[in-house]
Structure 1
């Protein structure tokens, strides 16, 4: 059986949200509201597609770009960065997957109000969960999340869908070896890196 939502429709949802809303909160709210009006199968399929793209984008070159932008090597930070990247839409996602250094075209100019998590979007992971909650008129997140996961897993079992394990990455870069990062993302490096744990936006 195929997913109830195609990749094409997944990206259309995100493109439509960007056309309708300008800020991240508005985009997330639009996606949640829109998805809540769809079938359970489509909601769960949206969640599966997010998981699939997260797996596909799990590579060491992109992790280097994530570190240069956000200054954090933790896997959790890399997860939130990839969620941000996916939430930017198909065109930007594909361009950056071809070459992580292409991010230089999409990052904002610095200002005094720069927020450290500008290039992270944990909320995108919960779009399907929140849509499921609205559809079922559920307000307590802990209860909602537990029920959602149970239904989500049941849907995957119905599809005979098997989750793939994340690969073990061998990093060819290190935050303590600047040249190793410059080799992977020279443009991002020149713009953001000025020393170990020191970042600027010139």
Structure 2
């Protein structure tokens, strides 16, 4: 995939909700990026505030639709210069890696009724796309997603795969070359924190009481 991870030349593995396949497929399917070019000015072109403003404005313009959001995000980044696009990609990837946690995976599992490793990749992209308040709130307490998400459509929401490609697509359109390595440390091979038994409903109901009541309780 791009942005947070490069798209492979073969078609991506489809989502398979309801089963965890972390050991069967790599959480990251990156192709090598070009070396990061030097920049005379080491200061970021795009700061965190502008990053979130772009995420929010494009999501609102898309009325929350993840695919439309990704398209509008590419269009918005095409109005920036290439260095700013790379800074956007760095902000995105750093947050994507921060969200690689077992407790957040468990919350996504309850929210979506099962999440494979690929689907969790896409969920993290979608979570970033929901904006700073939702993203930081979910990292502080994953169960708070039950309160932070005003409306949630399981068929539409929770999958932000294309958002992960947006920055690279914009960069390639602007420059005609593949985006260079971002200089961001990769996420660890395993999620942060203590593994959770996703198949144990009692464990999930206890760990995520608000999410369970809203999205999973009979």
TM over 0.5: yes
Q: TM-score range by the shorter chain?
A: 0.7 to 0.9
Does structure 2 retain, via aligned residues, the 8 Å contact 1:37–1:135? no
Partner of 1:152: 180
Partner of 1:22: 63
**What secondary structure does 1:33 align onto?**
helix
Cα distance change, pair 176–28 in 1 and its aligned pair in 2 (3 A)? closer
Q: Given the alignment of the two structures, is residue 95 of structure 1 paired with residue 137 of structure 2, yes or no?
A: yes
CA distance in 2: counterparts of 1:180 and 1:165, whole angstroms: 26
**What secondary structure does 2:55 align onto?**
helix
Q: Given the alignment of the two structures, is residue 128 of structure 1 paired with residue 167 of structure 2, yes or no?
A: yes
Larger Rg: 1
Partner of 1:168: 190
Q: Given the alignment of the two structures, is residue 9 of structure 1 paired with residue 68 of structure 2, yes or no?
A: no
CA distance in 1: counterparts of 2:152 and 2:117, whole angstroms: 26
CA distance in 2: counterparts of 1:56 and 1:93, whole angstroms: 10
Which of 91, 97, 100 is residue 49 of structure 1 equivalent to? 91
Task: Give the drift of 1:118.
Answer: 2.4
TM-score, structure 2 as length reference = 0.70
**What secondary structure does 1:38 align onto?**
coil
Does structure 1 retain, via aligned residues, the 8 Å contact 2:99–2:124? yes
Q: Per chain length, whose mean CA-contact separation is higher, i.e. which structure has more relative contact order (CA < 8 Å, sep 6+)?
A: 2
The structure whose residues are more often helix, as a share, is 1
Cα distance change, pair 55–39 in 1 and its aligned pair in 2 (3 A)? same
CA distance in 2: counterparts of 1:27 and 1:19, whole angstroms: 8
Aligned residue pairs: how many? Answer: 174
Which residues of structure 2 form unaligned runs of 5+? 1-41
